[in-house]
Structure formats: C-alpha cells, structure tokens
Amino acid sequence: MDHTHPLWHSAATRDAFARRDVGAIVRSARRAADVTLAELGKQVGYTAASLSRMERGKQPMRDVLLLQRLAACLDIPPHLLGLAPQRQRAASDPTDGTRVGGHTVFGEEGKDPVRRRNLLAGLAGATTSAALGPSAAARAPVPPSLSGLEDVLLHRHMQVRLTRDPTPSAVAAAVNASRADFGACRYDTLARALPARIALAQALGTHGHPEQAATAVAELYTTATRLCIKLGEDGLGAVTADRALTAALGGADALTVAEAHRMVSSAWRRQGHHARATDVAVTAARQLTTDRTTDITERLSVQGNLYATAAYTAAKQGDRHTAHALIAEAEATAGQLGHDALLRGTVFGPSQVLLHRVSICHLLGDAGQAIEHARRIDPAALPTTERRARYWIDVARAFDQWGKPDRCYQALLAAEHAAPQEVRRGAVQHMAAGLMVHDRTLPGVRAFARRVGVLA
C-alpha cells in the first residue's frame, strides 16, 4: 500500500487517529496488507503475542523505533503513528546510536553494506589493539584455572600458608580486593588469590572475631560462586554456594545470608532446577522485608537483586508471567532506591533492572524488545567493567537471535574492548562460532573467534 491508499482516509482510520489508537491503525494496516502477526513480528523483532496485545490496546505502543519499523513494514504514513516525516540524513551527519571506539553499534538498518564492512573492519582493528595489544591479538586465551580453589574445597586436609596475620583489617582488604577483581573482570587474578584469601578469613575466627570471620568467609565464597558461574564450573559453583550459606548462617548479618541464598538460587538454576531456584530467591527477598537491623539502602539493593535473579530464572524456565511479575518487583524496589548503588561488591538500581529486562526478553524470544531496553542504558555509566561487558554480551545475544550478525559482531567486539576475559565464556564462543559463516562480510571475525578460544 502506498500513502494514497483509501485506508488512510477511511472513517475508521480517522476515528482511530482522533482517539490516538495507534494499535487500531496498525491492525487495520496489517490486515489490509494480508500480513499475519507472526510475519510482522519477525520483521520488527517482537512476538506475535506482544503485537496482539499492542493492537488491542492491552500494552502501550509508545516506542518510537518500533513505530518506525511498523510504518516502514506496512507503509503507514508516519504522521498516523505520531511520527515526524522521515528526512534524508546528510552523508556527513553522524549516525544515531551508541558508539564504541568511534563506531556505532545501534544504528539504522538500511546502511550500505560496503560501508558497514569498513566499519566492522575498523572496529575489529581498534578493539584488538586497544584491548589486547599488538602481540596478544594472535594468541589463543588461557582460561583461568580454579585448581587451587578446587583443592581447598574438595580436599579439606590441605593447608594454605598464610602470608599475613589474620587481622580484621587484613581480612576486610582481602574481601574488597576480591570484589574489585571480579568487578574489573580480572578472573585469572581472582582465581589465583581466592584460596589464600578464604584461608585468611577462616583464620580470623580462631583469633577472637567469629562474626567478622563468618561474614568475610561467606562473602568470599559468594564471590567464588560468581566466578565459577562465569567460568561455567557449575559443579564447583554448587559447592561454593553451599559454603557461602553455611558460613553466613554461622554468624553473619541478614544481608550476607540473603546474598548467600542468591548464590544458592543461581547454583540451582545452573543445574536446571528452575522452580526451586526461583523459590529460594523470592523467599529470601521477602524475608528481608521485615528486617530492621540493616541499612535500608543496602537492604533494598540486596532485595532487588534477589527479585531480579528470580525473574531471570523464571524466564529461563519459559514462565513469561512470573518473569515479568518478578522483574516488576525488582523495578519497584529500584524505584525506592532511586539510583544505582555498588554495595558489598554487587550492583543494583534502575539500570540493573533494565539489564535484566534485556536478558529476560532474550530468553523469552523477544529480541526486538530486548534491544529497545538496551537502547535505554548508557553502558559508559554502568559502575563496573563486569556490568559493561555483560551489557554488550546481552546485546550481542539479542542481535544474534534477531538474525543481525553484523550488529551481534559489533557488540561482541565492544564486550572484548571492555573486558577481554569476559568474552572467553561459552555463550560468546557459541556466537563466535556461528558468526564464522559470515567471514566474508564480517572482517576479522575469524581472528576474534581465535581470541575467544573457538579456533586453535
């Protein structure tokens, strides 16, 4: 249909426009074009169910980028959807979107493919030299070894030699250093240091500080669990999560106990026990509601992370209703907090809720909606390297699911630029392997695959 089609001048369209019922206009245009909800959803990156709710007014249709795609797919005059008329962008104008290393990751879809290949080649080169250095680009990665942690955990008789006295200040420094290593994605450094740091914290308990020791040991095992999850060591992660909870219940405060429960929940999820994992996290979050012994900012942060973790788990199970209900709880908690906060080594706040929404939408198959949430996040403002790298990997997953290999590749390069050790994970390797079939149009993708460990 072109813009002179009688549909646009019909009484029904004029009435819908007067009522600002965008969904009704889209529905009329879709039916007139003989396009199904499923077909339209594939073109705009939303599920048929989501589009159906929008057409019926059950879900708002306010996202400008979605409206632009609908207008383009169905030839709807932009003004009927409340959009400004499209203008040709001058060749010298910058492209809208998030930029990494001087290049755009989110941008317009209809770009010249030669220009896009040049962009990717430039980004690949800039990322390799900036993040890895000229000599590191060709080397395959060496995954961090958890053998020291494994020996301590599974062979209790082994003793770790302490290099300093187990004082409260020394143990606090060890906990903070472990948090900093994880937040900066220094996973190899963290893996080497954890056994001695855990032994130091345990020794503090025999030197007259049992409660401080319980808290420190629990927090170090919590960090160890997060590291194991990053490295795909699910069996070892289940052990560290159990140790974290055991230590916390031995004398730590309510927030440390709750955070340990979150690690137990994550360990259950990684082993496929989704219902149990969700229940553990939700129960821990609700128990904190009545707690008045801890700082309210820290309580809200831990509580919100528990709801977000539970929402992610529900999405992993394919339970759309529960996932959205729980992430709404996390969002309400973030609203009480009012800002992003880095507390006790973990981050929570409005941007973290959006990060989880990106993950949840991807898990539920709503790639386009995941990207719309991602566009609302400023990755440069995220408080840790780990969060920034996770953001780009989640963006890459969504673009991969959406069938946009060039955007997926750009996001993966951005993740590598943020944290080279973060892209040595299974999810990235899987995407990199899939991208190699596009090596003629994605310059440098084979070198990237080699750097993340897909190719020898």
In this predicted model, which residue has the larger pLDDT, 262 or 140?
262
* pLDDT level of residue 183 (50, 70, 90 thresholds): very high
Same domain, 239 and 204: yes
CB-CB contact of 308 with 352 (8 Å): yes
Domain boundary among 335, 364, 393: 364
Number of folded domains that form the chain: 4
242 vs 18: which has the higher pLDDT: 242
Give me the mean pLDDT over the 21-47 stretch: 86
Q: Which domain holds residue 235?
A: 154-252
Q: Is the pLDDT of residue 5 over 80?
A: no
Say yes or no: 174 and 163 in one domain: yes
Residue 337 belongs to a domain: yes
Asked which of 314, 338, 364 is the last residue of a domain, the reply is 364
Tell whether the model's pLDDT for residue 110 goes beyond 90.
no
* Domain co-membership, 284 together with 353: yes
Kindly report the average pLDDT of the chain as a whole number.
84
Indicate the pLDDT class of residue 278, thresholds 50, 70 and 90.
Answer: very high
384 with 428, same domain: the answer is yes
Length of the chain: 456
Residue 424 banded pLDDT, cuts 50, 70, 90: confident
Q: Are residues 397 and 383 in the same domain?
A: yes
Residue in 238, 307, 316 with CA at minimum distance from that of residue 271: 238
Adjacent-strand bridge partners of 100: 103
Task: Tell me the three state secondary structure of residue 99.
Answer: strand
pLDDT at 157 over 70: no
Q: Is the pLDDT reported for residue 103 higher than 70?
A: no
Whether 260 maps to a domain, the answer reads no
For 338-384, where are the alpha helices, taking DSSP H only? 350-363, 367-375
Residue pLDDT, tens place only, 113-148? 555 555 555 556 555 444 444 444 444 455 577 878
On whether both 396 and 385 belong to a single domain, the answer is yes
Query: In this predicted structure, what is the pLDDT of residue 89?
Result: 40
Please name the residue ranges forming H helices in 56-165. 64-74, 113-127, 147-154
Please tell me the predicted confidence (pLDDT) of residue 100. 57
* Alpha carbon distance 289, 425 (integer Å): 36
* pLDDT attached to residue 138: 44
How confident is residue 388, by pLDDT bands cut at 50, 70 and 90? very high
Q: Tell me which of 117-126, 143-152, 305-314, 390-399 is least confident.
A: 117-126
Residue at a domain's end among 364, 379, 410: 364
CATH of the domain at 50: 1.10.260.40
Predicted confidence (pLDDT) at residue 267 exceeds the cutoff of 70 = yes
Across 341-367, average pLDDT: 90
Residue 268 falls within a domain, yes or no? Answer: no
